[in-house]
Amino acid sequence: MNKDTDFQDMVKDLQRKIDRDEEETYSKKVIKEYRNPINFGFIENPDATGQVKGPCNDTMRIDLRIKDNIVHKACFWTDGCGASIACGNMLTSMIKGKNIEELDSISNEQLLDALDGLPKEHQHCAKLAVDTFQSALKHFKKKRKRPEI
């Protein structure tokens, strides 16, 4: 064997171990959401933006496109861990197509249920996502109340 093959085998073994560890720690939904985050990114000229720094120093941003009080597009960005990515992605998927008035009451528990749970040490990631979304909603409502110039 040569060094390239040995290194490639070592990388494959390491990835298999990481995959096994993740599967023992997280639900299938959490893994799917953070490995394939379809809503990751930014919206150019969003109608609302919220950004919050969580207790573990992860930052999350949520951008919204809202028309007639309906969330038409939602994107998120985070510098956080896989659980933060999963929470941001799931939350932005959950809110699309919904009236903002019914989203005032979205909770950490609803997000955790949608993800089939998170380990206790990562549940703050759901709170971060919900708090960030609530910040974006507050921004939108405040902006909407301003008189047009």
pLDDT by 10s per residue, the chain, length 149: 577 788 898 889 888 898 888 888 999 999 999 999 999 999 999 999 999 999 889 999 999 999 999 999 999 999 999 999 999 999 999 999 999 999 989 999 999 999 999 999 999 999 999 999 999 999 999 988 766 55
- Predicted TM-score (pTM) of the model is 0.88
Domains of the chain: 3-145 (3.90.1010.10)
Residue 94 near residue 111, CB atoms below 8 Å: yes
